[in-house]
Amino acid sequence: MQLAMVGLGRMGANIVRRLMRDGHECIVYDVNPDAVATLEGEGAVGAGDFADLAAKMTAPRTVWLMIPAGLTGRVVEEVAAVLEPGDIIIDGGNSNYRDDVRRAAALKERGIHYVDVGTSGGVFGLERGFCLMVGGPDEAFAHIEPVLQTISPGTGDIPRTHGRSGEVAPEEQGYLHCGPSGAGHFVKMVHNGIEYGVMAAIAEGLNILDNADAGLRETTHSAEVAPLEEPEFYQFDIDTPKVTELWRRGSVISSWLLDLAAAALQANPTLEGLAGRVSDSGEGRWTVKAAVDVGVPAPVLAASLFGRFASRGEDHFANQVLSAMRMQFGGHQELPAGDVLEAGGAKADSGGS
Amino acid sequence: MQLAMVGLGRMGANIVRRLMRDGHECIVYDVNPDAVATLEGEGAVGAGDFADLAAKMTAPRTVWLMIPAGLTGRVVEEVAAVLEPGDIIIDGGNSNYRDDVRRAAALKERGIHYVDVGTSGGVFGLERGFCLMVGGPDEAFAHIEPVLQTISPGTGDIPRTHGRSGEVAPEEQGYLHCGPSGAGHFVKMVHNGIEYGVMAAIAEGLNILDNADAGLRETTHSAEVAPLEEPEFYQFDIDTPKVTELWRRGSVISSWLLDLAAAALQANPTLEGLAGRVSDSGEGRWTVKAAVDVGVPAPVLAASLFGRFASRGEDHFANQVLSAMRMQFGGHQELPAGDVLEAGGAKADSGGS
Amino acid sequence: MQLAMVGLGRMGANIVRRLMRDGHECIVYDVNPDAVATLEGEGAVGAGDFADLAAKMTAPRTVWLMIPAGLTGRVVEEVAAVLEPGDIIIDGGNSNYRDDVRRAAALKERGIHYVDVGTSGGVFGLERGFCLMVGGPDEAFAHIEPVLQTISPGTGDIPRTHGRSGEVAPEEQGYLHCGPSGAGHFVKMVHNGIEYGVMAAIAEGLNILDNADAGLRETTHSAEVAPLEEPEFYQFDIDTPKVTELWRRGSVISSWLLDLAAAALQANPTLEGLAGRVSDSGEGRWTVKAAVDVGVPAPVLAASLFGRFASRGEDHFANQVLSAMRMQFGGHQELPAGDVLEAGGAKADSGGS
Amino acid sequence: MQLAMVGLGRMGANIVRRLMRDGHECIVYDVNPDAVATLEGEGAVGAGDFADLAAKMTAPRTVWLMIPAGLTGRVVEEVAAVLEPGDIIIDGGNSNYRDDVRRAAALKERGIHYVDVGTSGGVFGLERGFCLMVGGPDEAFAHIEPVLQTISPGTGDIPRTHGRSGEVAPEEQGYLHCGPSGAGHFVKMVHNGIEYGVMAAIAEGLNILDNADAGLRETTHSAEVAPLEEPEFYQFDIDTPKVTELWRRGSVISSWLLDLAAAALQANPTLEGLAGRVSDSGEGRWTVKAAVDVGVPAPVLAASLFGRFASRGEDHFANQVLSAMRMQFGGHQELPAGDVLEAGGAKADSGGS
């Protein structure tokens, strides 16, 4: 079928390539003319602006936006201005599903269908295919299904789930109509929330392994930290790059994210040079807020999000408050220098902590 | 090579089968004579007791224990009693690594090598192979390496990690010498700790999806729960079995544990009949205690463990305390019946919460 | 000064009493005529409706609303309809500060001042006074300050903070102008968020004390729970009602919430009859969402909120998912009956958890 | 009665002073002769060594140790060596209750009573009195009760708990026989665990207040952090020192720890100069491990402990792992410089997070 792609960044361009490979006709647009030219060279039809793009298509038009979430609102407006009733806009970016709900309602009044497609797969999607979580009206979903079939990974070599039989369902091919407008990005949001939790679980575990040698390290005994109580049980110098590689084979926690951890540690075994300031891109936040709204506990997802905040120093004032409070009771000083205490010395603890 | 297996439960028996398939010679023992007979029928040499087992082997003997952790101490003693200096005992069960450290030290005085092997892979290990995390002296590891190569999954069809080249390392075949005695079970312990976190992340996310219809549900407005503030954003009736199947294809969180979630929801889409009392088998606890000992944060792993405790009602007294405190201030009643409040009604909130 | 109170529930009525005691003139209104009559009997001027209320006051009028948050929007509209430019509406209820921001902006266009007052103190406020967190324009704050001085606790017998000298500041008397409209309820919201955390800390601690006898309890050893490893250290039968009373005297955690815990346990030492379904009233949720919005970690506040959700069974589907996943690997059954495992028995663990 | 104090640091000396004021006879010892001389000047009997100390007392002797926990084991041995059957050793320091259990058992064989006294109250204890949590045999408790009555705060001006009547119980005076040896320090341990949670709740809340101006701050929009979605709701410049002072008066969270926060912020309103590396002294760790052992959830207490670890950078390797993983998928760079993204630019997000 025919599809226009707006936004030819890595993901947009790769989706276009995947579509053309499978015989779909692609009209492409980007603010960067070079990006358009590149894909023209590979067989796409370039458009100079949105009006040109619309003119080059036959109704009902399907326009896929693959642009940063912050720009989506404006671009949806501009694209809708050149479309007609019955046409379809697809937002394949990382929008907040709430914006989908609002945009779909506004466009519906003008007869334009709005479909949100949460897209997972990273840079590997060109080969692997993208996992597609789709929200929108049935009619529009049915119209774009051929495109979704091409972009998604298909059944691949993943074993069929026990108990499934007969015709292969869409979800087994890697795309799913999750519900009305917003449902696609909602499911994608939760997917990313889970991703935060899985990543944190792996990172925390590796941190424990990395400190399994605590009993071997010479420590100036300090009052800052409670002393290690049983050093004889922490005498292991674990090779975390090897362990992550090991766990990829046959272990219960084998996963694509573990593959990434193994690759990252293979590339940089000590992770030297990384400041460990971990970014977050919105979905983790929205997931926690959704859990709070509907009243279900999400302690793991929240802890993984808060850990990212703390990694960027956003716990600093709270920690200063704690240190300041400790100085008030018992005269605990922050970072006391040298505290080899003797019986009856002036520093006997005051009972606070 | 020659190896004795003590404990012919599902895992022990499957390891024996995997070994025999690959040409190793297996002597087998179990308290249940039927289990011995079955494997004799498949080519193993049965032993009537530990003395018999030792007599049927040539030195240096290698005896693998695949028994419940609670019995390991006693069985190690009994097996050691029939062994000679230079022989090797392997504990392939789920022992606490601290017990390994103690046992290895005790056996070393008698010249017997002790090797701990953390084993992951579940019931699928016979086909898939087991991921093996090994602790113990270099010499003993070298001696048993042929057996480990057979039991582990090998390279399989898992793509090689970017940056690795040349000869395939042990960790790429699914076994690794992690360090001295205890290191194997330490790594396995952390593996299981991570597993708790990953499972909880998936479960929390699915719970949010399952409640994405909160705005559709008719709720008698009650004072027990803060009212849903923006019901228009929670109108999704998500099919969680389909979503888990979807995420198996091309998504960032694809993993073996997600495969299990998909299989579980395929088998029982509503999870009807499950009480949701989640067991824990020790490793999660040990992992959190290890994190506390060495002083590294593990909020995700701890939250997942505590969630299991709470699933079994172990938060009950704490919750009663909270309800009782709330009743003290402002006269909050637990579970007030009917609280459609009118302006100036007697129930205006007292400012507590 | 003159003030009208709308909403004569416990808190509204008590504030009126406190004001009249101190010589202020109070006009009172409630949907329940009996509540009006009661306060008329104590010296207040009753009003039959909002028009009557406005007519009985001299400009600039100050009208304090002490009504459930869910009704505030409508009542603000109705009251504003009878007021004139220069008049002041005070919302003393538990509104979301976001509503304050919106309402203040709308009323400002009509020349009416809007002041939000977060009020803490519970049923004890009549004697103790209420802690008042105020948001709104400077001019309106200055106008109502005499009323705030009466309602707040004053300096009382609380020792002055070290380093403070000279004139007693408003915050030392129990009221504070926290900032523009919304700031009062924002500070109150965070106050309640902290309250959730403090309550949970106390409740978790008491739960540990309540289980300090774990080593004394006869337990049928079950596979559901990892066995208690060192029962000799959990042989204490702690009297939690006495301990909470004890901690009120001289301990570092003495606090008003601990007083409540002691009172609750004195009244019902075993907390028998309490289901432990802990309500939440909104502020805890808003606090966590605010933390997420501004990107600061709030793991303790979030954990205390999620604990309340879980106390009401909102973790159920997540727990079912976990049980279902465990059944998939290794054939773990939920709640297995009888698991005294023997060496080599069929139940040797599969390496999952 | 007669009591010997070993360890004349701030707390030990203050307890001696409190005892002498009330007419008790004190024998004192410290490795620092000046500390002994000071108290001799105030009426105590000094001892030159433990033998001298024992000789100056009449049987049954009571010796109170007020020394750092790390030295207790050795000093108990040395003191026990000069004592006789029927004598009593009191450990008033911050020992792990497990050590009490072990020491009490060992001393019991020699006929010496061992009493553990968890002591809370900080530097203010001389005036305020100390909260005493006592473990040990009934007989020894009865013998030392007069001393406990003097050291504890007594009923003071704290209102009696509703429902209590008749004679004032020990716990209402600030001391309690919590159970056998170890019970005192167990209760003190949980007390400190709660303290961690309460402190963290306050600190997290203040951090949110401190960031309530997020919408006012000029931020270079960066890809590191999800943009603030509704800046109009975060326009408050809250004065946290004033707010903590405010909350001391009449609020639900008024507490001694809040008093400390107010004092700390009064002394240093911006907390300038504090690195925010928060120490921990052992009890918080033991509390979490105890919760794990007995299988009750303690998410708030654990989160507050882990927050302290993270404040000292112990989350660093975990955060590096997260950044490294993010770099693997989608080519997320850590701390990307300048990311004003344009439609179709090369940086369109890859769907990971």
Taking only the tens place, the pLDDT of each residue in A69-90 is: 889 999 999 999 999 999 999 9
Interface contact flag, C285 A305, Cβ < 8 Å: no
Shortest CA distance from D33: residue in chain A: A344
Does D351 reside within a domain?
Answer: no
pLDDT tens digits for B8-37?
998 899 999 999 999 999 999 999 999 999
pLDDT of residue C351 exceeding 50, the answer is no
Please give the share of chain C, as a percent, with pLDDT higher than 90. Answer: 84
Q: pLDDT value at position A121? A: 79
Does D14 reside within a domain?
Answer: yes
Minimum-distance CB partner of B309 among D297, D309, D317: D297
Contacts of A68 in chain D (CB under 8 A): 341, 343, 345, 347-349
Q: What mean pLDDT is predicted for residues D274-286?
A: 94
Interface contacts (B, C; CB < 8 Å): 373
Which amino acid is present at C64?
W
Helices and strands per DSSP (H, E), number in chain A: 14, 8
Under-50 pLDDT residues of chain A: 334-353
Interface contact flag, A236 B301, Cβ < 8 Å: no
**For chain B, what's the residue count?**
353
Pairwise CA distance, residues D144 & D267, whole Å: 40
Q: Which is more confidently placed, B351 or C176?
A: C176
Pairwise CA distance, residues B68 & C221, whole Å: 14
User: pTM, whole model, 2 decimals?
Assistant: 0.94
Shortest Cα distance from A33 to chain B (angstroms)?
31
Does D239 reside within a domain?
Answer: no
The first and second tokens of residue C2, run together, are 């003159």
Q: pLDDT value at position D218? A: 67
Contact partners, residue D161, CB within 8 Å, separation at least 6 = C245, C248, C259, C262, C263, C266, D172
Contact partners, residue D224, CB within 8 Å, separation at least 6 = A277, A279, A312, D335, D336
Q: Which is more confidently placed, D344 or C9?
A: C9
CA distances from B42 to A271, B2, B31, B147 (A): 49, 16, 18, 18
Local confidence band at C341 (pLDDT 50, 70, 90 cut-offs): very low
Q: Share the mean pLDDT of chain C.
A: 91
Show the 3-state SS of chain C: CEEEEECCCHHHHHHHHHHHHCCCEEEEECCCHHHHHHHHHCCCEECCCHHHHHHCCCCCCEEEECCCHHHHHHHHHHHHCCCCCCCEEEECCCCCHHHHHHHHHHHHCCCCEEEEEEEECHHHHHHHCCEEEEECCHHHHHHHHHHHHHHCCCCCCCCCCCCCCCCCCHHHHCEEEEECCCHHHHHHHHHHHHHHHHHHHHHHHHHHHHCCCCCCCCCCCCCCCCCCCCHHHCCCCCCHHHHHHHHCCCCCCCEHHHHHHHHHHHHCCCCCCCCCCCCCCCHHHHHHHHHHHHCCCCHHHHHHHHHHHHHCCCCHHHHHHHHHHHHHCCCCCCCCCCCCCCCCCCCCCCCCC
Pairwise CA distance, residues A282 & A95, whole Å: 9
Minimum-distance CB partner of D275 among A125, A308, A335: A335
Find the angle CA(A286)-CA(A292)-CA(A294) to the nearest 5 degrees. 100
Interface contact flag, A302 C302, Cβ < 8 Å: yes
CA distances from C124 to B330, C171, C249, C260 (A): 8, 19, 21, 12
Shortest Cα distance from B247 to chain A (angstroms)?
7
Kindly state the helix (H) or strand (E) to which residue A88 belongs, with its residue range. strand A88-91
pLDDT of residue C94 exceeding 60, the answer is yes
CA C215 to chain centre: 37
The first and second tokens of residue A250, run together, are 């046959």
Contacts of D267 in chain A (CB under 8 A): 324
Q: What mean pLDDT is predicted for residues D237-244?
A: 98
Contacts of C298 in chain A (CB under 8 A): 306
CA atoms in the 13 A half-sphere facing the CB of B147: 26
Does A324 reside within a domain?
Answer: no
Pairwise CA distance, residues A72 & A63, whole Å: 13
Q: Is position C77 annotated as part of the catalytic site?
A: no
pLDDT of residue D342 exceeding 70, the answer is no
Asked whether the CA dihedral C124, C126, C131, C135 is positive or negative, the reply is: positive
Interface contact flag, D316 A276, Cβ < 8 Å: yes
Local confidence band at D350 (pLDDT 50, 70, 90 cut-offs): very low
Interface contact flag, C206 B318, Cβ < 8 Å: yes
Does D311 reside within a domain?
Answer: no
Contacts of C266 in chain D (CB under 8 A): 161-164
Does C63 reside within a domain?
Answer: yes
Catalytic member of C188, C245, C289, C314: C188
Minimum-distance CB partner of A289 among C289, C296, C299: C289
pLDDT of residue B318 exceeding 70, the answer is yes
Q: pLDDT value at position B227? A: 81
Shortest Cα distance from C131 to chain B (angstroms)?
10
Which amino acid is present at B58?
T
Interface contact flag, D288 B293, Cβ < 8 Å: no
Pairwise CA distance, residues B177 & A190, whole Å: 38
CA atoms in the 13 A half-sphere facing the CB of D147: 26
Pairwise CA distance, residues B219 & B210, whole Å: 16
Minimum-distance CB partner of A314 among C296, C312, C317: C296
Pairwise CA distance, residues B222 & B219, whole Å: 8
Q: Which is more confidently placed, B225 or A314?
A: A314
Does A109 reside within a domain?
Answer: yes
Report yes or no: B254 and B153 within 8 Å, Cβ to Cβ: no
Which amino acid is present at A158?
I
Question: How many C-beta atoms surround the C-beta of residue D124 within 10 A?
Answer: 18
The first and second tokens of residue C326, run together, are 């465990």
Find the angle CA(B296)-CA(B301)-CA(B306) to the nearest 5 degrees. 120
Contacts of D75 in chain A (CB under 8 A): 343
Enzyme catalytic residues of A: 188, 195
Q: Which of A102, A55, A64 is nearest to A83 (CA)?
A: A55
Report yes or no: D242 and C191 within 8 Å, Cβ to Cβ: no
Query: DSSP character for B255?
Result: B
Q: What mean pLDDT is predicted for residues C321-335?
A: 76
Strands B175-179 and B131-135: parallel
Determine which of D278, D286, D300, D306 to mutate to test the interface with C (most C C-beta atoms within 10 Å): D300
The first and second tokens of residue C131, run together, are 């802690």
pLDDT of residue B312 exceeding 50, the answer is yes
Question: How many C-beta atoms surround the C-beta of residue C35 within 10 A?
Answer: 21
pLDDT tens digits for D164-205?
999 999 999 999 999 999 999 999 999 999 999 999 999 999
What is the number of domains present in chain B?
1
Question: How many C-beta atoms surround the C-beta of residue C21 within 10 A?
Answer: 12
pLDDT tens digits for A224-236?
677 888 999 999 9
Shortest CA distance from D283: residue in chain B: B292
Catalytic member of D195, D245, D289, D334: D195
Domain that holds residue A64: 2-157+168-180
* Residue A170 backbone phi and psi in degrees, to 5: -50, -45
Question: How many C-beta atoms surround the C-beta of residue A313 within 10 A?
Answer: 11
Q: What mean pLDDT is predicted for residues C173-183?
A: 98
Strands C25-29 and A113-120: unpaired
Q: Could you give the 3-state DSSP secondary structure of residue A193?
A: helix
Q: What mean pLDDT is predicted for residues B168-189?
A: 98
> What's the CATH code of the domain at D70?
3.40.50.720
pLDDT of residue D330 exceeding 90, the answer is no
Shortest Cα distance from A165 to chain D (angstroms)?
31
Question: How many C-beta atoms surround the C-beta of residue B230 within 10 A?
Answer: 10
- The residues on D that touch B, with CB distances below 8 Å, are 252, 285, 288-289, 292-293, 295-299, 302-303, 305-307, 309-310, 312, 314-315, 317-318, 329, 351-352
Interface contact flag, C294 D211, Cβ < 8 Å: yes
Pairwise CA distance, residues B209 & A193, whole Å: 11
Does C172 reside within a domain?
Answer: yes
Largest CA distance in chain A: 90
* Residue A38 backbone phi and psi in degrees, to 5: -55, -50
Q: Share the mean pLDDT of chain B.
A: 91
Interface contact flag, A297 C285, Cβ < 8 Å: no
pLDDT of residue C342 exceeding 50, the answer is no
Minimum-distance CB partner of B297 among D289, D293, D314: D314
Q: Is position C314 annotated as part of the catalytic site?
A: no
Kindly state the helix (H) or strand (E) to which residue D46 belongs, with its residue range. strand D45-46
Shortest Cα distance from B277 to chain C (angstroms)?
7
ipTM of the complex in this document: 0.93
Q: Could you give the 3-state DSSP secondary structure of residue B119?
A: strand
CA distances from C147 to B298, C132, D1 (A): 49, 11, 56
Pairwise CA distance, residues C224 & C216, whole Å: 19
Q: pLDDT value at position C128? A: 80
Per the omega criterion (within 30 degrees of 0), is the bond before A60 cis? yes
Local confidence band at D128 (pLDDT 50, 70, 90 cut-offs): confident
Buried-state track B156-183, b at ≥16 Cβ within 10 A, e below 16: eeeeebeeeeeeeebbbbbbbbbbbbbb
Interface contact flag, C265 B66, Cβ < 8 Å: no
Catalytic member of C167, C171, C195, C272: C195
Chains contacting D (3+ CB pairs below 8 angstroms): A, B, C
Report yes or no: D253 and C196 within 8 Å, Cβ to Cβ: no
